[in-house]
Amino acid sequence: MLDAIKGFQKGGLKATETIITTRDGKRYREKKGEKEGETILEYEGQIATPAYLKQAASGFSSLQPQRYSQGKWRAATNTTATPSQITTLKFVTYNVWFAETAWR
């Protein structure tokens, strides 16, 4: 069995292209070549400021309350409960890592 593994030829990397949009709307095309470490980053321009960035600056979020029901996230239908009607409180948070190179 080990002899069969010795003859295994490792395939090379495939060239890929990825469109990257930064928080401030700058758009880049990242091209990775078939050789390891071969990366080209091309600036493609500026798009309109994303809505979430405008909302974050104003302290507003358009995210609507959701509830998990029957295996899916669904819009919460009753969001007007009074504090005395609330028996449980759940929070969902998203941990997002941003590379230091994106901060200026």
Give residue-wise pLDDT tens across range 28-69.
Answer: 999 988 777 788 899 999 988 777 777 777 776 666 778 888
pLDDT at residue 104 above 60? no
Give residue-wise pLDDT tens across range 15-26.
Answer: 899 999 887 788
* Residue bearing tokens 């948070």: 93
Contact 79, 65 (CB under 8 A): yes
Q: Where are the domains of the chain?
A: 14-102
Euclidean distance between CA atoms 92 and 95, whole angstroms? 10
Q: Helix, strand, coil proportions of the chain in percent (round to 5)?
A: 20, 30, 55
**Checking phi first, is residue 75 left (phi over 0); if not, alpha (psi -120 to 50) or beta?**
beta
